[in-house]
Amino acid sequence: KRAGKRFEIACYRNKVVSWRSGVEKDLDEVLQTHSVFVNVSKGQVAKKEDLLSAFGTDDQTEVCKQILSKGEVQVSDKERQTQLEQMFRDIATIVADKCVNPETKRPYTVILIERAMKDIHYSVKANKSTKQQALEVIKQLKEKMQIERAHMRLRFLLPVNEGKKLKEKLKPLIKVVESEDYGQQLEIVCLVDPG
């Protein structure tokens, strides 16, 4: 939408993403035609003077490029629904990968996480990344079920002369010390919260 008018281009939608990310460089692979329309489905082409007033040029290819980079991609309801369902599954998968049942230390299945997400009526936000949403979901699920982020196992190799001092600083972050070994250097294997 520009200068109070609506302009449309006919393009291959899966290619738009490639164009915007710079993977696809060939405009002909993205556009079905280099024409600018007022309404693609009715085949109504935009007037030259409208293009001039809205885009400052009547070069159709140039205008197509501007619309490609700034315009909104039209998505049908069915496609939007499919996209949201896919995101829902992706979020559940991330949560299942990152979390365990704190009592058993075993991971939850994706299906179980999906069911739990439905129980808390989690609605996917199309404009937020799945990773961000997965972290939100974990917080919300904590209120309803036994779930926590899986610990990360780290191995620290500390120089002996600094080892004790550094260990004191690390202590508040360490959940469980699995092994400690003083040799040429101090080696600590421990579990920490991924945060």
Q: What percent of the chain has pLDDT over 90?
A: 59
What is the CATH architecture assignment of 77-149? Orthogonal Bundle (1.10)
pLDDT score of 107 more than 80: yes
- Between CA 13 and CA 50 the distance in angstroms is 25
pLDDT score of 116 more than 90: yes
In 83-182, which ranges are E strands? 99-100, 148-149, 152-159, 174-182
Its pTM stands at 0.57
- Between CA 65 and CA 151 the distance in angstroms is 47
What the block records as the tokens of 78 is 């069915």
* CATH (one of 3.90.1150.10, 3.30.70.240, 3.30.565.10, 4.10.320.10) for 152-192: 3.30.70.240
pLDDT score of 90 more than 80: yes
| Nearest of 98, 118, 119 to residue 108 by alpha carbon | 98
Average pLDDT over residues 110-128: 93
Secondary-structure class of domain 8-70 per CATH: alpha beta
Q: Would you place residue 154 in the very low, low, confident or very high pLDDT band (cuts 50, 70, 90)?
A: very high
pLDDT value at position 146?
A: 94
**How many CA atoms are closer than 13 Å to the CA of 102, on its beta-carbon side?**
8
Average pLDDT over residues 97-102: 93
Domain boundaries in the chain?
Answer: 8-70, 77-149, 152-192
pLDDT value at position 23?
A: 87
Question: Which residue bears the tokens 């520009």?
Answer: 2
| Nearest of 195, 101, 110, 103 to residue 152 by alpha carbon | 195
